[in-house]
Amino acid sequence: MAFNFKKEYKEFYMPKNKPEIVNVPAANYIAVRGKGNPNEEDGAYQKAISVLYAVAYTLKMSYKTDYQIEGFFEYVVPPLEGFWWQENVQGVDYGDKDAFHWISVIRLPDFVTKKDFAWAVETASKKKKTDCSSAEFLTIEEGLCVQIMHLGSFDEEPDTVAIMDEFL
């Protein structure tokens, strides 16, 4: 059975419907940075997501190629995660999505090295006939965080954030 991050790390990938404190350790990610409205059709965000998944699935399926990753084991590609902010704004102005800055990420298994990552970016670019060079290998240690499951549209997210603010 393939390793599944959501099942193995439920505390990070299956948050509750109420706020809770979690300590998120350092992990490696495929990351793409950008700016702009995530809802823009064929915009920077949608292109970034395509790059993330192209690289993620190239790594996941590497065992079916001539390229062998040391320590490889089969796994389910982890869910998309993201970091969002606006410069010079207290909190978030959801009415100005064009001002969003973001880093979208997909977690990597620990066995993926920077060398393996570089191979995947090059291979995905050739196979998908798209430039995947915006992808970067990024180590993030979030540390102590408050999290909650958000259900609903992106535009309804402020209500969920308000619940976390009350928790703090």
Confidence class of residue 141 from pLDDT cuts 50, 70 and 90? very high
pTM of the model: 0.92
57 alpha-carbon distance from chain centroid:
14
Containing domain of residue 9, as a range? 3-167
Of 99, 68, 65, the residue nearest 85 (C-alpha): 99
Number of folded domains that form the chain: 1
51 versus 163: the higher-pLDDT residue is 51
- For position 117, which CATH number holds? 3.20.80.10
Q: What is the pLDDT of residues 42-100, one digit of tens each?
A: 999 999 999 999 999 999 999 999 999 999 999 999 999 999 999 998 878 888 999 99
Say how far apart CA 167 and CA 147 lie, in whole Å: 10
| Positions of E strands within the chain | 3-4, 20-24, 27-35, 75-76, 80-85, 101-107, 136-140, 143-147
Region 107-115: what's the mean pLDDT?
98
pLDDT of residue 158: 84
